[in-house]
Amino acid sequence: MTMKKTTKKQRLFFALAPQQPADSVTALHQLTCQIDQAVPIDNLHITLAFLGMVTPAQTEAIVQAIDNHPPTGAFSATFSTLGYWRRSKVVWLGCPQPPAPLQDLVDHLYTVLAPCGIVREPRPYAPHITLAKAIKQRPTALLETLTPPALTFHFPAFGLYISTTEHAQPPSQPHAQHSVQRRALPLSGSVATVNTVIPSTRQSEQWAATVRIHNNV
């Protein structure tokens, strides 16, 4: 899907998509089915760096910076701890022992993007997958009774995501329509490009994705 040109600021972030191997994806879906107000399976991701609202000129500079200084090395990471953050009201699946390549990727992104005006958050990086949102109270029973399996995902690429909100059509539908467009960036090896649009089933959300799939990892 071709990204629409705009003169307005856009909300950008870099993230990983937990899309392989298939058995881990299936287990992740089964886990979310046990949680109220779960994020649609196709919308799950691991944020690497939040860029905030950026101008078109910044976006071009960001893409160029990554193209000029690409990170290398696909890696795997295991997510196995369930938790809740009261401030953001989310239930998450965390990575208790982040692999060095994951932290290196985050460090690399912020280093490369500093000249583009991107400021790193002061808090330590805590890789996680948000499983449910708008959970107003701590789900104590869920956290005490649900033991997630250790899910290992392989990441041959990461993505630059654009998050937008548009009013749904026709106007009789009250909910806003949210979309995220992803430009995948390889971590290693050759790639083949596949364009897909993945509809979700909750909260009138759609994810439009340009997915680059590695041939050799």
Q: Within a domain: residue 69?
A: yes
**Dihedral of alpha carbons 166, 172, 174, 180, sign:** negative
- The percent of residues above 90 in pLDDT, for the chain, comes to 57
Reported residue count of the chain is 217
Write down the mean pLDDT value for the chain: 77
For the cut 60, the answer to whether the pLDDT of residue 143 exceeds it is: yes
Mean pLDDT, range 208-213, rounded to an integer: 30
Q: Could you report the per-residue pLDDT of 145-172, keeping only the tens digit for each? A: 999 999 999 999 999 888 765 433 332 2
Q: Which of 22, 27, 10, 34 is nearest to 151 (CA)?
A: 27
160: domain range?
A: 10-214
Q: What residues are paired with 77 via a beta bridge? A: 153
Active-site annotation holder among 29, 69, 108, 128: 128
Q: Within a domain: residue 208?
A: yes
Measured distance CA(189)–CA(154) in Å, rounded = 14
Q: Within a domain: residue 135?
A: yes
Total domains, the chain: 1
In CATH, what number is assigned to the domain containing residue 142? 3.90.1140.10
Q: Within a domain: residue 103?
A: yes
3-state secondary structure of 15: strand
Q: How confident is the model at residue 200 (pLDDT cuts 50, 70, 90)?
A: very low
167 carries an active-site annotation: no
Q: Within a domain: residue 181?
A: yes
3-state secondary structure of 133: coil
Residue written as tokens 């958050």?
A: 121
128 carries an active-site annotation: yes
Q: Within a domain: residue 21?
A: yes
pLDDT for res 72: 76
Q: Within a domain: residue 1?
A: no
